[in-house]
Amino acid sequence: MCQHVESTEINCLLCKNVRLLICLCSPFRCRSLPAQRKIYMRSPPIPEMATQEVQLNETLAHLKTESETLKSKLEEERAKLHDVELHQVAEKVEGLGQFVMKTRRTLKGHGNKVLCMDWCKDKRRIVSSSQDGKVIVWDAFTTNKEHAVTMPCTWVMACAYAPSGCAVACGGLDNKCSVYPLSLDKNENLAAKKKSVAMHTNYLSACSFTNSDMQILTSSGDGTCALWDVESGQLLQSFHGHAADVLCLDLAPSETGNTFVSGGCDKKANVWDMRSGQCIQSFETHESDINSVRYYPSGDAFASGSDDATCRLYDLRADREVAIYSKESIIFGVSSVDFSLSGRLLFGGYNDYTINVWDVLKGTRVSILFGHENRVSTLRVSPDGTAFCTGSWDHTLRIWA
Amino acid sequence: MARDMSDKEILKMELEQLKKEVNTPRTPVSANCADTITFVEGMLPNDPLIKGVPDDKNPYKGDKGGCIIT
């Protein structure tokens, strides 16, 4: 603890009833959710300072002003090219008809909140992970469970299917990402073949295989993302730049190159070059934590979903936000976003238990889907675009088509 | 890691990043939006969630498939 600790008791902003111990000069966390979120104090009282600290604050102030000046310059440069809005250019585009999307399958079997899911490239299998430590592989057509593994930790916040379909990766509060090869032999104990690949100093929030089974990209509550070699467990590249927990990441579609985008609790979405480890572009227009980022099918843009109840589209070539998907009636945060195959529809899973479907070009909502009985925590469109799957805190997954 | 860095170090990191970003090449929004729209219109006929899939080809509509009990 630093010298500024005061045992002030206030209520946790998330669960409302746990008392907190606060350090006034750094972010605090709620004891009931040890690693889920970082919450910043609104305006800490300023304690008395020694001369050393006064000097430190002068340099800090100086850095801050420089930073603010550069930020305004950046905004100026970006604004110069902002000659039109996306929905204006899209006025001539034909409107979409009525949508009939319903739950076609309900996958039941998890004993607690479903936190993450991923599709296999065969467009049929799904891996999902939940708060109780279980990771299950399902056949989406028949709803049969094909494999189940129990992780040694709870809150398995990330899971991913390998491109070959022969392995799954998962991790969470154990600060690691582990890879389990999937065996066709039902009697084989999957847990025995587990391979620990990534090691972070805080919880694992997201993971994804790159184009092969050999490399994994991870993001963590420790504020970094990292690229690992699966076979050796070696760290190939690390990505520093977020000032708080990184909550999500997405790889660019393979045709467009070696980049990925990440979003975090610092409200920033960063685009990174995987080879050099450099942050190429950064976007800070959200007003709260970014829970989900997803590349546009063309690779030239990406969408983000945030606790500020909006989804936003950022164009990478114009280097700015080009659309906001929001409504006054939507006040709950977005936990996950994904595009349909053509990029015309944006699906968002919200904390108010619904899924909102947006027309990407026109900026309007085309449909709202009900069905889950608790917040939607994860949403992915299948690789061939025929359906999308949602996972929820109501312990189930639903396939919509 | 971000958690272990002091405010000053975080600010320095941000500053370095901003200096690089100010010089990024950018193109006007109108050109990019037009591109995006062309892309979408091209892919639209093949989007199963928009155009729909005939029931006999859609694995999710109709019978679940069921299991074979031997």
- Rounded CA-CA distance A173/A131 in Å is 10
Contact (CB, 8 A) for A109 and A93: no
Contact (CB, 8 A) for A297 and A319: no
Choose among B2, B44, B67: nearest Cβ to A243.
B2
Interface of B with A in 13-32 (CB under 8 A): 13-15, 17-22, 24, 26-32
State the fold for domain A88-400: Methylamine Dehydrogenase; Chain H (2.130.10)
With 90 as the cut, is the pLDDT of residue A178 above it?
A: yes
Interface of A with B in 225-284 (CB under 8 A): 240-245, 266, 278-282
Q: Among the listed ranges A133-137, A249-253, A254-258, which one has the minimum average pLDDT value? A: A254-258
Task: Judge: A401–B14 Cβ closer than 8 Å, yes or no.
Answer: no
**pLDDT score for A91:** 87
- The mean pLDDT of A309-322, rounded to a whole number, is 94
With 90 as the cut, is the pLDDT of residue A293 above it?
A: yes
Higher pLDDT, A198 or A44: A198
Task: Judge: B30–A60 Cβ closer than 8 Å, yes or no.
Answer: no
Written in H, E and C, the secondary structure of A336-362 is EEEECCCCCEEEEEECCCCEEEEECCC
Task: Please name the helix (run of DSSP H) or strand (run of DSSP E) that holds residue A55, with its range, or none.
Answer: helix A51-80
Higher pLDDT, A166 or A45: A166
With 70 as the cut, is the pLDDT of residue A50 above it?
A: no
Task: Judge: B14–A360 Cβ closer than 8 Å, yes or no.
Answer: no
In three-state secondary structure terms, A57 is helix
CA distance B54 to chain A (A): 11
Q: What's the token pair of residue A196?
A: 């620990």
In three-state secondary structure terms, A254 is helix
pLDDT tens readout for residues A80-89: 888 888 888 8
pLDDT band at A49 (very low <50, low <70, confident <90, very high): very low
Higher pLDDT, A19 or A26: A19
User: Which chain A residue is nearest to residue B67, measuring alpha carbons?
Assistant: A142
Tell me the domain boundaries of chain A: 88-400
If one counts every other C-beta atom within 10 angstroms of the C-beta of residue A142, the result is 15
pLDDT tens readout for residues B38-67: 999 999 988 888 888 887 778 887 655 556
With 80 as the cut, is the pLDDT of residue A285 above it?
A: yes
Complex ipTM > 0.95? no
Task: Judge: B18–A201 Cβ closer than 8 Å, yes or no.
Answer: no
Query: Is A388 in CB contact (< 8 Å) with chain B?
Result: yes
- The DSSP result for B1-55, as a single string, is -GGGS-HHHHHHHHHHHHHHHHT-----HHHHHHHHHHHHHHHGGG-HHHH---T
**pLDDT score for A6:** 45
Q: Please give the model's pTM, rounded to 2 decimal places.
A: 0.83
Choose among A279, A318, A361: nearest Cβ to B32.
A318
In three-state secondary structure terms, A190 is helix
- Rounded CA-CA distance A214/A209 in Å is 8
